[in-house]
């Protein structure tokens, strides 16, 4: 069973508001992935980290999304100015290595009104 | 667009019956993974099958891989109500080793 912790489980924001969610990876996992899962069950990779360093991120992430994984603190994903289309389940996954099995948290369900 | 697609979109079976979910993919792969996502949870990996393997088992689960037809199947025998979930196949892309998931098959196991 995954031990990835994500908070909050639910987040409701108005358009234009900031939305911030956090992830605590499994102990000893230096790699963290963020994915967005929409209501049609389509997954979109957003960004990944190894320790505190960004490995890769998609263009969308570079514009309104920001993320970090500081040492000794939870990782976070923040949407600077939420849009209705950002409503989705945001999943955090951690792994021992970039090509190792990814263990997912339960997700943060964001609703942008 | 998804690199992997499952079919059917949804199906139901009664407890104790077997069920099979299929997946087709469009790119060359080194491995294919099957995940299960229960309501309110994140996906959990069930089986990873590498491109040089034709079959892999994990308890009541059996995955097959046919690289010539670029397809895979996941079979569950002796289904239980707790097998009710959405089943996804996923492949690893070269971009950041991120996973690309299919759209999923919803499996409902009825008592």
Chain A positions contacting chain B at CB under 8 Å are 1-2, 4, 33, 35, 40-43, 45, 48, 55-56, 91, 93, 98-99, 101-107
Do residues A21 and A7 lie in contact, with contact meaning Cβ atoms separated by under 8 Å?
yes
Q: Give domain A5-62+74-112's CATH superfamily.
A: Immunoglobulins (2.60.40.10)
Which residues have C-beta within 8 Å of that of residue A73, sequence separation ≥ 6? none
Domain hosting B24: range is 4-110
Full pLDDT tens readout for chain B, 111 residues? 335 676 778 999 999 999 999 999 888 888 999 999 999 999 999 999 999 999 999 999 999 999 999 999 999 999 999 999 999 999 987 767 889 998 899 999 999
Residues of B in contact with A93 (CB under 8 A): 42
Please state whether the peptide bond connecting residue B8 to the residue before it is cis, i.e. omega within 30 degrees of 0: yes
The residue ranges of every structural domain in chain A are 5-62+74-112
CATH at residue B58: 2.60.40.10
């Amino acid at each position: 069973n995954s031990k990835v912790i994500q908070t909050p489980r639910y987040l409701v924001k108005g358009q234009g508001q900031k939305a911030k969610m956090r992830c605590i990876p499994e102990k000893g996992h230096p790699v963290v992935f963020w994915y967005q899962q929409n209501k049609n069950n389509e997954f979109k990779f957003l960004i990944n980290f190894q320790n505190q360093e960004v490995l890769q991120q998609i263009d969308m992430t570079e514009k309104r999304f920001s993320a970090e994984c500081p040492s000794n603190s939870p990782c976070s994903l923040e949407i600077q100015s939420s849009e209705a289309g950002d409503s989705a389940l945001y999943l955090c996954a951690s792994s021992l290595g970039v090509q190792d099995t990814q263990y997912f948290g339960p997700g943060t369900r964001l609703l942008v009104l | 667009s998804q690199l992997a697609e499952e079919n059917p979109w949804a199906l139901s079976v009664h407890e104790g019956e077997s069920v099979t979910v299929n997946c087709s993919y469009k790119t060359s792969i080194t491995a294919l993974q099957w995940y299960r996502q229960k309501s309110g949870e994140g996906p959990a990996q069930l089986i990873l099958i590498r491109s040089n393997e034709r079959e892999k088992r994990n308890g009541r689960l059996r995955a097959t891989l046919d690289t010539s037809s670029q397809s895979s199947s996941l079979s569950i025998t002796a289904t239980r109500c707790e097998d009710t979930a959405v089943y996804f196949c996923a492949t690893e892309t070269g971009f950041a080793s991120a996973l690309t998931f299919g759209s999923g098959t919803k499996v409902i196991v009825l008592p």
